[in-house]
Structure 1
Amino acid sequence: MTFLYKANATRGMEWARFFAARAPDLPFRLWPDIGDPAQVRYLAVWTPPENIAVTFRNLELVFSVGAGVDQFDFSQLPPHVPLIRMLEPGIAESMVEYVTMAVLALHRDLLHFIAQQREQTWREIRITQAAKRRVGVMGLGLLGQAVLERLKAFGFPLAGWNRSPRTIQDVSCYGGRQALPEFLAQTDILVCLLPLTDETRGILNTSLFEVLPRGAQLVNVGRGGHLVEADLIEALERGLLSAAVLDVAEQEPLPAGHPFWSHPRILLTPHIASMTTPETAVEFVLDTIGRHRRGETLPGRVDRERGY
């Protein structure tokens, strides 16, 4: 049996070294060197190969090398093969760092000062106390909860919204579509950490922006598909929003000439908010394979009906 890796080739070499050290009896291959496809039992991918079910007829587990699985067409996966999203701790740690950076940058008016630097002039901006800046997180899974835990240290009033109800100490939690407007109305900095599903695609739109307090700010670290890009530009022009930090876009890499590149109220990064750490990812993968062989519950198993 073989483990096949199809994602970033440089990180794949690191995966190969950790596999050789920790699972020397499990052959490891890097795409496109698949060897005998009938031997492939385990597949770790970012962009899934075509015709998975036909090419790898003895597949037992498919791993996403990231926390999201919206890049998969579930209909192309054999129904009996579990799809596992990555739960290694490096993803959460790097996401917490990025969101903390973004929230603090917005809270302390960094985009205004960047604009002033370019103009070679300084204009005073009064500091807003953290206790008066309300931060709301959409998506209360592993990443959302980790982000909220870190933000507690700064004294922001914190709220969270999720499809299903959650209870988090010192966080006002809201569940379901009916509770979304109440959550939004008390959110000055909105962080999107939702999974991308048919239900959440385009959720960051004009209707949502109009419910936020006027001049609210946005951090999108979910997926580009969550955001209606034209609506964001309009919201910034209308003053519904005052700034946005975006790590994801509908089209990646962002094409030349896209209005996000030069907009003074948008801070862009190239989908780097969180990255899988090869060493701990391999530990998670090998642990999951062991659980699968023993017939145990698999952490990170995707519910295909829900889409995450």
Structure 2
Amino acid sequence: MLFFRFHNSVNLKICATQLRQFLNTRKQNMCEDGMAKTRVLFCGPHFPASHNYTKEYLQSYPLIQVDDLPFDSIPDLIGNYDICVVKSMRLNSDVVARATRMKLIMQYGVGLEGIDIDAATNHGIKVARIPSGKTGNAASCAEMAIYFMLGLLRKHNEMQIAVKQKKVGEPIGSTLFGKTVFILGFGNIGIELAKRLRPFGVKILATKRNWASNTSNRFNSTVPASQNGTYENLVDEKGCHEDIYEFAKKSDIVVCCLTMNSETAGIVNKDFISSMRKGGLLVNIARGGLLDYKAVCDGLESGHLGGLGIDVAWTEPFDPNDPILRFPNVLLTPHVAGVTESSYRSMAKVVGDVALQLHMGKPLTGIEYAN
């Protein structure tokens, strides 16, 4: 009998603990007026301005809770959230299956290659990106591309060495004026880049899989349309995917602005780099996986590739001791092309507005669905 009572006492303690945990969770999920909160999850510590600006935008709305969690805790806690902003996390089918409360998975930007979209679709979860043309993200990335071009042409790393060695009047650099620039992937970023390159007096080549999709409705907000509604005035020579090697042969600088997917992964490979002019420059502001690492290293080692400017790497964060960084004609930045106050506050507003719309049961605006 005593044992029976002790056993029940233990069970009561366990039940009381579970009840407290349940009530605490329920309290966290409820507002003061008893309404259930809408909870937004930002994955991982990278790109901190994304969740900080979103929290700031929503600080007057206690009905929306914004959390940023470390990567290793997300699989166990993702089931508590309505919206997930993945940032640089890979959301595979196993993690998606745990998101039992999830209504929307989105990216703080455009790249969705880290999300298992099929798995999300199977679980009734929508997947969306924030179009870059409406937030200033495309403009920010375009400016970074020009930063790389000028830095490589004027030999930024060598100039720093010259300063330390108290040299004056060297190294000798090159001008952007008179160069031929190949924009590989003429989407929103490519268009913004072409607009900014025009005053430099360059020749612009660009490829796009389907030029017919460049309608006036899509680009009215950022680029003055020509009479027929396209933007041929920005590009001296247009091509499709089949023309990329030919365009690489004609160019002094190649800027990779492609979306990352199964068709574009590793597209800048040995054959592509070999087709470039000797001494040509390569800039990548899109995704690291678009470039074949070995091909790039070999091109730098042989001197065929005249310089590399990348804001995105093959693994992130990138190893600061990676052999590719020993070359003086390599510039690397920590995935900050789109990380400007202007673009990040604009995207924070989109995420915040979507959370408010979801909470109130309204249609979600300002995003582009992928499923």
| Cα deviation code 1:285-306 (max 9, x no counterpart) | 2444677755477632226xxx
Asked if the contact 1:136–1:160 (Cα under 8 Å) also holds between the matched residues in 2, the reply is: yes
Q: Which residue of 2 aligns with 1:83?
A: 127
Q: Which residue of 2 aligns with 1:18?
A: 57
Asked if the contact 1:260–1:268 (Cα under 8 Å) also holds between the matched residues in 2, the reply is: no
Q: Secondary structure at the match of 1:153?
A: helix
Paired with 2:364 and 2:319, the residues of 1 have a C-alpha distance of 45
2:235 pairs with one of 164, 171, 185: 171
Q: Which residue of 2 aligns with 1:4?
A: 40
Unaligned runs of 5+ in 2: 1-36, 215-229
Q: Post-superposition shift, 1:43? A: 2.0
| Cα deviation code 1:66-110 (max 9, x no counterpart) | 331122222332344321113362422321221121112233344
Paired with 2:97 and 2:319, the residues of 1 have a C-alpha distance of 35
Unaligned runs of 5+ in 1: 304-308
Q: Secondary structure at the match of 2:281?
A: strand
Question: In the alignment, does 2:68 pair up with 1:45?
Answer: no
Asked if the contact 1:52–1:76 (Cα under 8 Å) also holds between the matched residues in 2, the reply is: no
Paired with 1:207 and 1:36, the residues of 2 have a C-alpha distance of 45
Larger Rg: 2
Question: In the alignment, does 2:140 pair up with 1:99?
Answer: no
Asked if the contact 1:2–1:29 (Cα under 8 Å) also holds between the matched residues in 2, the reply is: no
Q: Which residue of 1 aligns with 2:30?
A: none
Specify the code of the residue in structure 1 equivalent to 2:282: L
Paired with 2:364 and 2:318, the residues of 1 have a C-alpha distance of 42
Which structure dedicates a bigger proportion of its chain to helix? 2
| Cα deviation code 1:183-219 (max 9, x no counterpart) | 2222211111111111111111110012222211011
Q: Which residue of 2 aligns with 1:302?
A: 370
Asked if the contact 1:196–1:226 (Cα under 8 Å) also holds between the matched residues in 2, the reply is: yes
Q: Secondary structure at the match of 1:77?
A: helix
What is the count of residue pairs matched by the alignment?
A: 301
Question: In the alignment, does 2:180 pair up with 1:134?
Answer: yes
Specify the code of the residue in structure 1 equivalent to 2:55: A
Paired with 1:57 and 1:173, the residues of 2 have a C-alpha distance of 49
1:60 pairs with one of 103, 111, 128: 103
**Could you say what the CA RMSD is over the residues aligned between the two structures, in angstroms?**
3.1
Mark the CA change 1:54 to 1:228 in structure 2 (over 3 Å): closer, same or farther.
Answer: closer
- TM value normalised by structure 2: 0.70
Q: Secondary structure at the match of 1:5?
A: strand
Q: Post-superposition shift, 1:56? A: 2.5
Asked if the contact 2:57–2:352 (Cα under 8 Å) also holds between the matched residues in 1, the reply is: no
Asked if the contact 2:155–2:171 (Cα under 8 Å) also holds between the matched residues in 1, the reply is: no
Paired with 1:158 and 1:58, the residues of 2 have a C-alpha distance of 48
Mark the CA change 1:254 to 1:58 in structure 2 (over 3 Å): closer, same or farther.
Answer: closer
Mark the CA change 1:29 to 1:244 in structure 2 (over 3 Å): closer, same or farther.
Answer: closer
- TM value normalised by structure 1: 0.83
Mark the CA change 1:294 to 1:124 in structure 2 (over 3 Å): closer, same or farther.
Answer: closer
| Cα deviation code 1:12-66 (max 9, x no counterpart) | 2432221123x44334344379999666332222115564443332322211123
Asked if the contact 1:191–1:220 (Cα under 8 Å) also holds between the matched residues in 2, the reply is: yes
Paired with 2:364 and 2:109, the residues of 1 have a C-alpha distance of 22
